[in-house]
Amino acid sequence: MAAVHTGNGGKASKNGTAITTPSSEIVQEAKDAFAEVVTKHMTEKCGMSNAIYNPTDDNLPVGRCTSCHMPKLAKSGAYSTGPDFYGNQALVEGDQGSHVFDIVWPYESTATTQGGPVDPKYSTIYTRPDGVARSYKGVGYMPNSCSKCHAGARQASIPVTAY
Ligand code: HEC
Ligand code: HEC
């Protein structure tokens, strides 16, 4: 870690002695060691042996600790939505990261819906049977640690006819 940090212009010391800037080979060796140990972690903890470690890719940050441990479960501005396993629109993630560090498994987030219509026009306001207007986004299942990248870990709301 010190090699990568100092290689990027940071400062580190060992027993009070400053570590000199390492060669690019040493920095690469250190990054490879990260990739190996984090891939092992993902394999052991959630069976993700076939995922390619690429934590700096913002679209698919495989191996970035926060992608699983601080997933964006809450929102202040907006949720992003996408298809679930069946192609119905579901919440993918919000814009506020969890600060708990706990993994939120898909089975845990599916316990938190209020129910709503399976409607491809998820962003529209619809009228509940009791006449109250609600946005689909207000009632979808909560996102979880896996829903950003795995459609199968998302769940669209269950259609309900009465509240
Ligand atoms: C692909 C998802 C994923 C990524 C990425 C990930 N972890 Fe984990 N991590 C897990 C899961 C799943 C568990 C087990 C949680 C449980 O049992 O509830 C876990 C457990 C842990 C634990 C608890 C101790 C243990 O080993 O069980 C620590 C600490 C931890 N991870 C740190 C990290 C760090 C640091 C990173 C980044 C270098 C990281 N994790 C990246 C999924 C991930
Ligand atoms: C940052 C994106 C990302 C996150 C977050 C993530 N995964 Fe993955 N996962 C991948 C990619 C990419 C693959 C490899 C390609 C694939 O199988 O889709 C993968 C593969 C897997 C596989 C292997 C599938 C197979 O076909 O063998 C499992 C199981 C898995 N992930 C479980 C999880 C679980 C459980 C979580 C949440 C704790 C999680 N993943 C979170 C990106 C992610």
pLDDT of 55-76, one tens digit each?
A: 999 999 999 999 999 999 988 8
Residue 46 alpha carbon, nearest atom of ligand 1 = 12
Sign of CA dihedral 9, 67, 101, 140: positive
Q: Average model confidence (pLDDT) for the chain? A: 83
Between CA 65 and CA 75, with CA 71 as vertex, the angle to 5 degrees is: 150
**Which residue reads 């400062």 in tokens?**
11
Residue with CA at minimum distance from ligand 1 atom 9: 45
Q: Cα-flanking dihedrals φ and ψ of residue 89, to 5°? A: -70, 135
- Ligand 1 interacting residues, C-beta cut-off 6 A: 38, 41-42, 45-46, 48, 63, 65, 67-69, 103
Give the C-alpha separation, 50 to 81, whole Å. 25
Pocket lining: 150 vs ligand 2, CB cutoff 6 Å: yes
Given pLDDT bands bounded at 50, 70 and 90, which one contains residue 15? very high
Please state the pTM of the whole predicted model.
0.86
Query: Residues near 63 by Cβ (< 8 Å), separated by ≥ 6?
Result: 35, 38, 39, 42, 51, 53, 54, 55
Could you tell me what percent of the chain has a pLDDT over 90? 55
C-alpha 157: how far from chain center: 19
Give the C-alpha separation, 84 to 3, whole Å. 41
Give the C-alpha separation, 95 to 109, whole Å. 17
- pLDDT above 50 for 157: yes
**CA distances from residue 128 to 86, 91, 131, 134, 163 in whole angstroms, order as listed:** 24, 20, 5, 7, 8
> Which ligand lies nearest to the CA atom of residue 63 in the structure?
1
Residue with CA at minimum distance from ligand 1 atom 10: 45
Structure tokens at 93: 């993630």
Pocket lining: 91 vs ligand 2, CB cutoff 6 Å: no
Closest CA to 142 of 157, 127, 128: 157
Sign of CA dihedral 14, 33, 104, 69: positive
> Cα(41) to centroid of ligand 1, in Å?
7
> Cα(69) to centroid of ligand 1, in Å?
7
Query: What integer is the mean pLDDT of 103-112?
Result: 83
